[in-house]
Structures are given as C-alpha cells and as structure tokens.
C-alpha cells in the first residue's frame, strides 16, 4: 500500500464519520479539503487566467488587456471600506454581461429547441402524450391565475407529469450515487485493506 492510498483511505473514513455525527476527524478532513481546494483553484486561476489572458498579452504588446486588469484591481477595492464602492463597477459589468450572454443562449436552448422538439404530428400516442405534458406543465407554472376550475384540473395533470419525472430522475440519480459508493468501498476493501483482490 502506498502512502497516498493510506492517506486517501484515512481521509475517506474521516469524512464517512460524519454519518455518525460531526467530530474532530471529520472537521480535520473538512478543513483539509477546503484549504487544499482553495489553493488548487487559486493556482488554476493564476495559471489559467492571469498569465495567459493578462500577462502574456501585455508582454506581446497588447495594451487593451489593461482595461480588464484595472477592473480586477477595482474588485480588490472591497478590502478597505474607503475603496469598497469602486468594486461595484466590475461586479455590475459581470452581472450585466453575464445576463446578456445567458439570455440568447437560454432562449435558443431552453425555448426554441424544446418547442421544435414538441411540434410533432399528432399521429402517435407518444407525440400526444408529450404535447399534453408540455402544455399542462406550462399551465402549472402560470402564476397570475389561481389553480381553480378547469384551469386547476389542467394544472393537476401537469403536477402528475412533474411527479413522474421527479420519480424517474430520483431513481436514476440514486443508482449513480450508489455506484459512486461502491467505487469508494472497493477502494477501501481493495487498495486499503486488501480484502478484495
């Protein structure tokens, strides 16, 4: 058994101990995980963004990157109370640009593509089932009208569609989580304890 496998097994058991209750072993593993991942992502940010997107273009004489670099510096303005308002400028840009980029992509992927996939000829039970499901589920998500009368009945059908979907995804995801647990147990009983060859 390697030292790496030993450390991995002990930390796995420390995290699993949370199933009993919060304890010092779990806390140690938790803080190790947070600290290591924070350090790892900092290195990724420096190597993956700061160096190739700012420093290298600057060295190549592309002075336009000074603009985003100033915005980065403005975010650091949060560190003192006096310069804090300056940090709102890059934040506003991030939120505005983020929403602007997301909206057309969402319109395309979540509305137009879905619409296109639902407009099928009503010549099979499956196509009718899909169309009824989409319409009644949309009715469920109407907020300006109470779910009463015939409208409420349509919304109830939509609720049934939703519940069937949730049941199916629950079962599917539980299966994938169990396979993750099996992988971890195989590691503990195989690589760590050597009980599985």
> Residues in the site for other proteins, rule: CB under 8 A?
15, 18, 21-22, 26-27, 29-31, 33-34, 36-38, 40-41, 75, 78, 87-88, 91, 94-95, 98-99, 101-104, 106-108, 111-113, 115-123, 127, 131, 134-135, 138-139, 141-147, 162, 165-167, 169-170, 173, 177
Q: In the complex with other proteins, which residue's Cβ is closer, 1 or 45?
A: 45
Rank residues 30 and 191 by Cβ distance to other proteins and give the closer one: 30
Decide whether 67 or 105 has the Cβ nearer to other proteins: 105
**64: region left, alpha or beta (phi > 0 left; psi from -120 to 50 alpha):** alpha
Handedness of CA 61, 62, 68, 70 (dihedral sign): positive
Using CA atoms, how far apart are residues 71 and 95, in angstroms rounded to an integer?
14
Shortest distance, position 22 Cβ to other proteins, whole Å? 4
| Closest distance to other proteins from the beta carbon of 50 (Å) | 14
Give the tokens for residue 66.
Answer: 């000074």
Do residues 10 and 187 make contact, with C-beta atoms less than 8 angstroms apart?
no
Q: How far apart are CB 66 and other proteins at their closest, in Å? A: 21
- Which CB sits closer to other proteins, 3 or 38? 38
Give the residue among 55, 71, 51 at the shortest CA–CA distance from 63: 55
Q: How far is the CB of 131 from other proteins (least distance, A)?
A: 6
- Quote the CA–CA distance of 6 and 13 in Å, as a whole number: 11
Token pair recorded at residue 5: 């496998």
CB of 75 to other proteins, least distance (A): 7
Nearer to other proteins, 5 or 118 (CB): 118
SS3 content of the chain, % helix, strand, coil (to 5): 85, 0, 15
Tokens 């971890």 belong to 184
């Amino acid at each position: 058994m390697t030292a790496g496998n030993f450390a991995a097994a002990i930390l796995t058991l420390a995290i699993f101990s949370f199933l009993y209750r919060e304890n010092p072993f779990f806390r140690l593993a938790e803080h190790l995980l947070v600290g290591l991942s924070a350090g790892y992502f900092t290195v990724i940010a420096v190597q993956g963004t700061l160096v190739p997107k700012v420093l290298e273009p600057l060295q190549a004489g592309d002075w336009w990157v000074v603009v985003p670099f100033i915005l980065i510096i403005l975010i650091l303005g949060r560190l003192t109370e006096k310069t804090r308002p300056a940090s709102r400028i890059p934040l506003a840009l991030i939120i505005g640009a983020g929403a602007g980029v997301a909206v057309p992509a969402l319109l395309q992927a979540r509305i137009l593509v879905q619409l296109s996939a639902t407009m099928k000829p009503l010549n099979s039970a499956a196509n009718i089932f899909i169309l009824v499901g989409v319409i009644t589920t949309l009715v469920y998500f109407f907020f300006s009208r109470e779910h009463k009368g015939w409208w409420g009945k349509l919304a109830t059908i939509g609720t049934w569609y939703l519940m069937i979907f949730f049941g199916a995804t629950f079962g599917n995801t539980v299966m994938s989580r169990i396979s993750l647990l099996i992988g971890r147990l195989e590691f503990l009983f195989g690589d760590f304890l050597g009980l599985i060859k």
